[in-house]
Amino acid sequence: MTGTFTTRTVDVTTGSTETMHDLTSACSVFLREVAHGRDGLLNIFTPHATSGLAVIETGAGSDNDLLAALGEVLPPDDRWRERHGSGGPGRDHMLPALVPPHATLPVVGGELELGASQSVVLVTTGRGGADGRVRLSFLG
């Protein structure tokens, strides 16, 4: 049997503050619709210069710890510069170097293979944007 490739985008409202948006449910819904019990890979990608994707435990404090750590590594102050030299969201543009804009995860029996406490989250430090887009792609 040859593999199939299916892709779609999911729109996410992130707000204008540092946040994590849990994508696990959206990934599961997508896989129920397209994987049909097959094994394969789910690729998740955000095409935004100020966001990244992480697999992390949520709800127990790790999500806030990650945002705090990013605040220490990428302080929200005026040291960051855009390429053209003016002050701007240069700090936010550094985020994908630390939290990559992509993740590839195993799918087994049509379901996302995550650990018991793991979630897939969109991480954003952007202070100006309120919307994001994430592409989900299944190969199986």
Residue 16 has a pLDDT of 74
- Token pair belonging to 4: 């199939």
The CATH number of whichever domain residue 47 belongs to comes to 2.60.120.460
**Domain residue limits at 61:** 5-139
pLDDT of residue 127: 60
Domain count, the chain: 1
Assess contact for 107 and 35: CB atoms under 8 A: yes
90-98 helix and 62-73 helix, angle to the nearest 10 degrees: 120
pLDDT at 49: 84
* 3-class secondary-structure state, position 65: helix
Counting beta carbons within 10 angstroms of the beta carbon of residue 127, is it exposed (0 to 12), middle (13 to 18) or buried (19 or more)? middle
Quick one: pLDDT at residue 78? 75
Backbone angles phi, psi at 57, to 5 degrees: -75, 135
pLDDT for the residue 1: 47
Q: What is the spatial distance between Cα 123 and Cα 54, in angstroms, rounded to a whole number?
A: 7
Residue-level pLDDT, tens digit, the chain, 140 residues: 467 999 999 999 887 778 899 999 999 999 999 999 999 999 999 998 889 999 999 888 898 999 999 999 988 887 777 655 555 667 888 899 999 999 999 999 999 999 989 999 999 987 655 578 999 999 99
